[in-house]
Amino acid sequence: MQDIRSVLERAQNNGVALGHFNVSDLVLLKAVFSAAQELRVPVLVGTSEGEREFMGVRQVAALVRALREEYDFPVFLNADHTHTLDSAVEAAQAGFDSVVFDASALPFEQNARLTRQAIEALKAINPAILVEGEIGNIGTGSEIHELATDLSKYLTTPEEARQFVAFTGVDVLAPAVGNMHGMSQKMVAGEMKKRLDIQRIAQVRAAAGVPLTLHGGSGTDDEDLRRAIDGGISVIHINTELRVAWRSGLEAGLAAGDHQVVPYKVLPFAVASVKQVVLARLRLFNDGKQTSAEQKTGVASAV
Protein backbone atom coordinates (compact mmCIF):
# COMPACT_ATOMS: atom_id res chain seq x y z
CA MET A 1 0.00 0.00 0.00
CA GLN A 2 1.45 3.39 -1.00
CA ASP A 3 1.32 6.32 1.36
CA ILE A 4 -0.29 9.69 0.71
CA ARG A 5 3.00 11.23 -0.42
CA SER A 6 3.60 8.71 -3.18
CA VAL A 7 -0.02 8.85 -4.30
CA LEU A 8 0.33 12.63 -4.62
CA GLU A 9 3.58 12.27 -6.52
CA ARG A 10 1.98 9.79 -8.84
CA ALA A 11 -0.93 12.14 -9.53
CA GLN A 12 1.54 14.87 -10.52
CA ASN A 13 3.47 12.54 -12.80
CA ASN A 14 0.29 11.37 -14.49
CA GLY A 15 -1.23 14.83 -14.97
CA VAL A 16 -4.24 14.08 -12.79
CA ALA A 17 -5.53 15.48 -9.50
CA LEU A 18 -6.49 13.73 -6.31
CA GLY A 19 -10.10 14.31 -5.35
CA HIS A 20 -10.59 15.56 -1.80
CA PHE A 21 -14.14 15.31 -0.48
CA ASN A 22 -15.36 16.58 2.87
CA VAL A 23 -17.52 14.36 5.02
CA SER A 24 -19.50 15.01 8.16
CA ASP A 25 -21.36 11.75 8.50
CA LEU A 26 -21.31 8.12 7.45
CA VAL A 27 -23.59 8.80 4.46
CA LEU A 28 -21.00 11.09 2.88
CA LEU A 29 -18.12 8.79 3.75
CA LYS A 30 -19.88 5.78 2.22
CA ALA A 31 -20.64 7.74 -0.95
CA VAL A 32 -17.07 9.01 -1.35
CA PHE A 33 -15.49 5.64 -0.72
CA SER A 34 -17.89 3.74 -2.92
CA ALA A 35 -17.30 6.15 -5.86
CA ALA A 36 -13.50 5.90 -5.52
CA GLN A 37 -13.71 2.12 -5.29
CA GLU A 38 -15.90 1.92 -8.38
CA LEU A 39 -13.45 4.03 -10.41
CA ARG A 40 -10.38 2.49 -8.77
CA VAL A 41 -8.80 5.86 -8.00
CA PRO A 42 -7.14 6.97 -4.77
CA VAL A 43 -9.16 9.45 -2.75
CA LEU A 44 -8.75 11.93 0.11
CA VAL A 45 -11.44 12.26 2.73
CA GLY A 46 -11.44 15.58 4.55
CA THR A 47 -12.95 16.83 7.76
CA SER A 48 -12.85 20.48 8.81
CA GLU A 49 -12.77 21.41 12.50
CA GLY A 50 -16.58 21.59 12.57
CA GLU A 51 -16.94 18.28 10.74
CA ARG A 52 -14.44 16.65 13.13
CA GLU A 53 -16.24 18.01 16.13
CA PHE A 54 -19.44 16.40 14.90
CA MET A 55 -17.96 13.03 13.92
CA GLY A 56 -15.26 12.80 16.58
CA VAL A 57 -11.58 13.15 15.68
CA ARG A 58 -10.56 9.62 16.65
CA GLN A 59 -13.84 8.17 15.43
CA VAL A 60 -13.47 9.46 11.86
CA ALA A 61 -9.82 8.39 11.86
CA ALA A 62 -10.90 4.89 12.90
CA LEU A 63 -13.57 4.75 10.17
CA VAL A 64 -11.18 5.73 7.38
CA ARG A 65 -8.46 3.41 8.70
CA ALA A 66 -10.99 0.55 8.76
CA LEU A 67 -11.89 1.16 5.11
CA ARG A 68 -8.25 1.39 4.06
CA GLU A 69 -7.35 -1.83 5.85
CA GLU A 70 -10.42 -3.90 5.08
CA TYR A 71 -10.40 -3.08 1.36
CA ASP A 72 -6.65 -2.57 1.02
CA PHE A 73 -7.51 0.68 -0.75
CA PRO A 74 -5.70 4.05 -0.95
CA VAL A 75 -8.14 6.23 1.00
CA PHE A 76 -6.49 8.95 3.11
CA LEU A 77 -7.70 11.35 5.77
CA ASN A 78 -7.04 15.08 5.88
CA ALA A 79 -7.63 17.50 8.76
CA ASP A 80 -9.06 20.30 6.66
CA HIS A 81 -8.86 24.03 7.54
CA THR A 82 -7.29 23.64 10.94
CA HIS A 83 -7.00 27.00 12.62
CA THR A 84 -5.23 26.18 15.88
CA LEU A 85 -2.12 24.23 16.76
CA ASP A 86 -4.01 22.22 19.41
CA SER A 87 -6.53 21.00 16.91
CA ALA A 88 -3.79 20.15 14.38
CA VAL A 89 -1.87 18.19 17.02
CA GLU A 90 -5.04 16.32 18.02
CA ALA A 91 -5.58 15.23 14.40
CA ALA A 92 -1.94 14.17 13.95
CA GLN A 93 -2.11 12.14 17.14
CA ALA A 94 -5.31 10.47 15.95
CA GLY A 95 -3.47 9.28 12.81
CA PHE A 96 -4.63 11.73 10.13
CA ASP A 97 -2.47 11.50 7.00
CA SER A 98 -2.39 15.23 6.35
CA VAL A 99 -3.27 18.58 7.89
CA VAL A 100 -4.27 21.84 6.23
CA PHE A 101 -2.97 24.40 8.69
CA ASP A 102 -4.98 27.48 7.83
CA ALA A 103 -3.87 30.78 9.29
CA SER A 104 -4.69 32.59 6.06
CA ALA A 105 -7.00 35.05 7.79
CA LEU A 106 -3.94 36.54 9.55
CA PRO A 107 -1.39 38.91 7.99
CA PHE A 108 1.08 37.11 5.70
CA GLU A 109 4.10 37.17 8.09
CA GLN A 110 2.05 35.90 11.02
CA ASN A 111 0.49 33.21 8.86
CA ALA A 112 3.96 32.10 7.75
CA ARG A 113 5.33 32.07 11.31
CA LEU A 114 2.44 30.05 12.73
CA THR A 115 2.47 27.62 9.81
CA ARG A 116 6.18 27.00 10.29
CA GLN A 117 5.63 26.30 14.00
CA ALA A 118 2.76 23.95 13.20
CA ILE A 119 4.90 22.00 10.73
CA GLU A 120 7.60 21.51 13.34
CA ALA A 121 5.09 20.24 15.90
CA LEU A 122 3.23 17.98 13.45
CA LYS A 123 6.35 16.39 11.94
CA ALA A 124 7.57 15.65 15.46
CA ILE A 125 4.42 13.55 15.97
CA ASN A 126 4.50 11.93 12.53
CA PRO A 127 7.42 12.67 10.19
CA ALA A 128 5.41 11.29 7.24
CA ILE A 129 2.44 13.61 7.73
CA LEU A 130 1.75 16.05 4.87
CA VAL A 131 1.24 19.64 5.90
CA GLU A 132 -0.48 22.18 3.66
CA GLY A 133 -0.44 25.93 4.21
CA GLU A 134 -2.83 28.50 2.80
CA ILE A 135 -2.36 32.04 1.50
CA GLY A 136 -4.71 34.60 0.03
CA ASN A 137 -8.43 34.83 0.72
CA ILE A 138 -10.97 32.47 -0.80
CA GLY A 139 -13.80 33.18 1.62
CA THR A 140 -15.29 30.81 4.16
CA GLY A 141 -18.22 28.44 4.40
CA SER A 142 -18.99 25.40 2.27
CA GLU A 143 -22.60 26.41 2.03
CA ILE A 144 -25.03 28.23 -0.21
CA HIS A 145 -24.30 31.96 -0.27
CA GLU A 146 -26.76 34.47 -1.63
CA LEU A 147 -24.15 35.97 -3.97
CA ALA A 148 -20.57 35.19 -5.02
CA THR A 149 -18.18 37.63 -3.31
CA ASP A 150 -15.56 39.38 -5.43
CA LEU A 151 -12.24 38.17 -4.00
CA SER A 152 -10.11 39.23 -6.94
CA LYS A 153 -7.95 41.60 -4.89
CA TYR A 154 -6.80 38.73 -2.65
CA LEU A 155 -5.32 36.53 -5.38
CA THR A 156 -1.99 34.88 -4.58
CA THR A 157 1.07 36.23 -6.36
CA PRO A 158 3.95 33.96 -7.44
CA GLU A 159 6.30 35.93 -5.18
CA GLU A 160 4.08 35.35 -2.11
CA ALA A 161 3.96 31.66 -2.94
CA ARG A 162 7.74 31.47 -3.27
CA GLN A 163 8.36 33.30 0.01
CA PHE A 164 5.75 31.33 1.95
CA VAL A 165 7.04 27.93 0.86
CA ALA A 166 10.69 28.90 1.37
CA PHE A 167 10.02 30.18 4.90
CA THR A 168 7.57 27.54 6.14
CA GLY A 169 8.66 24.37 4.31
CA VAL A 170 5.03 23.35 3.60
CA ASP A 171 4.61 20.15 1.60
CA VAL A 172 1.61 21.51 -0.30
CA LEU A 173 0.32 25.03 -0.90
CA ALA A 174 -3.28 26.25 -1.19
CA PRO A 175 -3.37 29.52 -3.17
CA ALA A 176 -6.15 31.91 -4.13
CA VAL A 177 -6.45 31.64 -7.91
CA GLY A 178 -10.07 32.57 -8.61
CA ASN A 179 -11.46 29.83 -6.37
CA MET A 180 -13.84 30.47 -3.47
CA HIS A 181 -15.51 28.44 -0.76
CA GLY A 182 -19.18 27.58 -1.14
CA MET A 183 -21.65 28.17 -3.94
CA SER A 184 -23.90 31.08 -4.78
CA GLN A 185 -27.58 30.37 -5.41
CA LYS A 186 -26.95 30.85 -9.13
CA MET A 187 -24.18 28.24 -9.03
CA VAL A 188 -26.47 25.74 -7.35
CA ALA A 189 -29.04 26.42 -10.08
CA GLY A 190 -26.31 25.83 -12.70
CA GLU A 191 -26.65 29.40 -14.03
CA MET A 192 -23.14 30.49 -13.07
CA LYS A 193 -19.70 28.85 -12.71
CA LYS A 194 -16.55 29.77 -10.82
CA ARG A 195 -13.75 30.67 -13.22
CA LEU A 196 -10.06 30.16 -12.45
CA ASP A 197 -6.97 32.20 -13.29
CA ILE A 198 -5.12 29.46 -15.17
CA GLN A 199 -2.06 31.53 -16.01
CA ARG A 200 -1.64 32.45 -12.35
CA ILE A 201 -1.89 28.79 -11.33
CA ALA A 202 1.05 27.89 -13.57
CA GLN A 203 3.08 30.86 -12.32
CA VAL A 204 2.33 30.14 -8.67
CA ARG A 205 3.16 26.45 -9.14
CA ALA A 206 6.51 27.29 -10.72
CA ALA A 207 7.37 29.78 -7.97
CA ALA A 208 6.19 27.54 -5.11
CA GLY A 209 7.99 24.40 -6.24
CA VAL A 210 5.49 22.20 -4.35
CA PRO A 211 2.15 20.67 -5.34
CA LEU A 212 -0.89 22.97 -5.20
CA THR A 213 -4.34 22.31 -3.79
CA LEU A 214 -7.41 23.98 -5.19
CA HIS A 215 -9.91 24.65 -2.41
CA GLY A 216 -13.46 25.71 -3.08
CA GLY A 217 -13.89 23.42 -6.06
CA SER A 218 -17.70 23.24 -5.99
CA GLY A 219 -19.41 24.96 -8.89
CA THR A 220 -16.20 25.44 -10.89
CA ASP A 221 -16.29 25.28 -14.67
CA ASP A 222 -15.22 21.79 -15.80
CA GLU A 223 -12.85 23.02 -18.51
CA ASP A 224 -11.17 25.38 -16.04
CA LEU A 225 -10.63 22.43 -13.68
CA ARG A 226 -8.99 20.43 -16.49
CA ARG A 227 -6.73 23.33 -17.38
CA ALA A 228 -5.97 23.96 -13.71
CA ILE A 229 -4.73 20.38 -13.38
CA ASP A 230 -2.54 20.89 -16.44
CA GLY A 231 -1.27 24.10 -14.86
CA GLY A 232 -0.15 22.41 -11.64
CA ILE A 233 -3.14 21.73 -9.36
CA SER A 234 -2.68 18.29 -7.79
CA VAL A 235 -5.51 18.14 -5.23
CA ILE A 236 -9.06 19.49 -5.62
CA HIS A 237 -11.42 20.01 -2.69
CA ILE A 238 -15.16 19.57 -3.11
CA ASN A 239 -17.63 20.03 -0.29
CA THR A 240 -20.72 22.17 -1.04
CA GLU A 241 -21.70 20.13 -4.11
CA LEU A 242 -21.79 17.05 -1.88
CA ARG A 243 -23.84 18.82 0.77
CA VAL A 244 -26.37 19.95 -1.84
CA ALA A 245 -26.66 16.35 -3.11
CA TRP A 246 -26.86 15.06 0.49
CA ARG A 247 -29.85 17.27 1.16
CA SER A 248 -31.73 16.43 -2.03
CA GLY A 249 -31.04 12.70 -1.56
CA LEU A 250 -32.26 12.89 2.01
CA GLU A 251 -35.41 14.69 0.94
CA ALA A 252 -36.04 12.02 -1.71
CA GLY A 253 -35.49 9.28 0.88
CA LEU A 254 -37.95 10.87 3.28
CA ALA A 255 -40.48 11.51 0.51
CA ALA A 256 -40.33 7.86 -0.57
CA GLY A 257 -42.34 6.69 2.43
CA ASP A 258 -44.62 8.82 4.60
CA HIS A 259 -44.29 6.54 7.56
CA GLN A 260 -40.76 5.42 6.90
CA VAL A 261 -38.58 5.78 10.01
CA VAL A 262 -35.89 3.18 9.30
CA PRO A 263 -32.63 5.08 8.76
CA TYR A 264 -31.02 2.39 6.65
CA LYS A 265 -33.97 2.54 4.26
CA VAL A 266 -34.02 6.35 3.99
CA LEU A 267 -30.28 7.13 3.96
CA PRO A 268 -29.27 5.05 0.92
CA PHE A 269 -31.06 7.69 -1.20
CA ALA A 270 -28.63 10.27 0.14
CA VAL A 271 -25.64 7.95 -0.41
CA ALA A 272 -26.67 7.40 -4.03
CA SER A 273 -27.22 11.10 -4.64
CA VAL A 274 -23.81 12.13 -3.21
CA LYS A 275 -22.07 9.27 -4.99
CA GLN A 276 -23.19 10.58 -8.40
CA VAL A 277 -21.47 13.89 -7.69
CA VAL A 278 -18.27 12.23 -6.46
CA LEU A 279 -18.19 9.93 -9.50
CA ALA A 280 -18.51 12.88 -11.89
CA ARG A 281 -15.80 14.87 -10.13
CA LEU A 282 -13.40 11.92 -9.85
CA ARG A 283 -13.83 11.13 -13.54
CA LEU A 284 -12.93 14.70 -14.42
CA PHE A 285 -9.94 14.89 -12.04
CA ASN A 286 -8.51 11.57 -13.22
CA ASP A 287 -8.83 12.21 -16.92
CA GLY A 288 -5.06 12.40 -17.26
CA LYS A 289 -2.74 12.47 -20.20
CA GLN A 290 -1.47 8.91 -19.73
CA THR A 291 -3.23 6.34 -21.83
CA SER A 292 -3.05 3.12 -19.86
CA ALA A 293 -5.88 2.62 -17.39
CA GLU A 294 -3.43 1.57 -14.72
CA GLN A 295 -1.41 4.76 -15.09
CA LYS A 296 -4.57 6.85 -14.96
CA THR A 297 -6.09 5.35 -11.88
CA GLY A 298 -3.00 4.58 -9.90
CA VAL A 299 -4.86 2.04 -7.81
CA ALA A 300 -3.43 -1.08 -9.36
CA SER A 301 0.02 -0.23 -8.13
CA ALA A 302 -1.01 2.09 -5.30
CA VAL A 303 -2.48 -0.77 -3.30
**194 part of the interface to Zn ion, by CB under 5 A:** no
Which of 19, 136, 175, 217 is in the footprint of ligand G3H by CB under 6 A?
217
80 is catalytic: yes
24 binds ligand G3H (CB under 6 A): no
User: Quick one: which of 87, 111, 240, 273 contacts ligand G3H (CB under 6 A)?
Assistant: 240
> Should residue 270 be labelled a site residue for ligand G3H when binding is judged by CB under 6 A?
no
Q: How far is CA 284 from each of CA 53, 152, 277, rounded to the nearest angstrom?
A: 31, 26, 11
Out of ligand G3H, Zn ion, none, what residue 240 binds, judged by CB under 5 to 8 A for its kind, is: ligand G3H
Q: Exactly one of 31, 238, 299, 302 binds ligand G3H (CB under 6 A); which one?
A: 238
Q: How far apart are CA 8 and CA 218, in angstroms?
A: 21
Toward ligand G3H, which CB reaches closer, 225 or 266? 225
- Are 194 and 225 spatial neighbours (Cβ–Cβ below 8 Å)? no
Distance, C-alpha 250 to centroid of its chain: 23
Which of these segments, 108-116, 156-164, 237-245, 275-283, binds Zn ion (CB under 5 A)? 237-245
Footprint of ligand G3H on 76-95 (CB under 6 A): 80-81
> Which position among 25, 80, 97, 221 bears the catalytic label?
80
Could you give the C-alpha distances from 12 to 47, 67, 234, 262, 298, in angstroms and in order?
Answer: 23, 25, 6, 44, 11
Q: Are 36 and 75 in contact (CB under 8 A)?
A: yes
Residue 104 touches ligand G3H, criterion: CB under 6 A: no
Give the torsion through C-alpha atoms of 154, 158, 164, 170, to 10 deg.
Answer: 110
Which sequence positions are flagged as catalytic?
Answer: 80
